[in-house]
Amino acid sequence: MNDAKDLELVQRRLLAAYQAIPGLWSQARDLHDQAFLRHVGDFEHVAGGADHPGVETTGDMRARTIWARLCATAVDLDTLAPLERSIKNYFMAGRGADDDHRGPLQSHGDFERSLRNQRKQAAAGQHVPARLVDQPRYPRLGR
């Protein structure tokens, strides 16, 4: 996975997962209930040809299968947060995405020059790196 097509594929997959998560989140409780809660049916046809009221069942097997897939996927997703931290740490030269640093990492003038350069790159249609974390506040400047 080295070329631009691979990058687009990875980005499409991440976007699809991002868009699917709210629906999975909101439907998880209902799916769990359908998979594992006890249910008393009105009338169930049993061997011998008669319908008997109140046959008790526990969950739906299709719901259990889907629940197992959801659980397996959630376990795989546990690797995303550490992966994001690793990527941020890599781009921040190992400094880490910590909140305990004091003061700006570069002067105000350097920061403004970087922003101007970034705007020029964007206007020229060049790649502009994504922001990892917000720039620390400048107490002297009231920002």
| pLDDT over threshold 70, residue 42 | no
Domain boundaries, the chain: 1-41+55-78
pLDDT digits (tens, 9 = 90+) for 82-113: 888 888 777 776 554 455 555 566 777 888 88
User: What phi, psi does 100 have (nearest 5°)?
Assistant: -95, 10
* DSSP 8-state class, residue 3: S
Using pLDDT thresholds of 50, 70 and 90, give the confidence band for residue 50.
low
Question: Whose structure tokens read 């069942």?
Answer: 57
Q: Indicate whether this model's pTM tops 0.85.
A: no
pLDDT digits (tens, 9 = 90+) for 62-75: 999 999 999 999 98
107: left (phi over 0), alpha (psi -120 to 50) or beta: beta
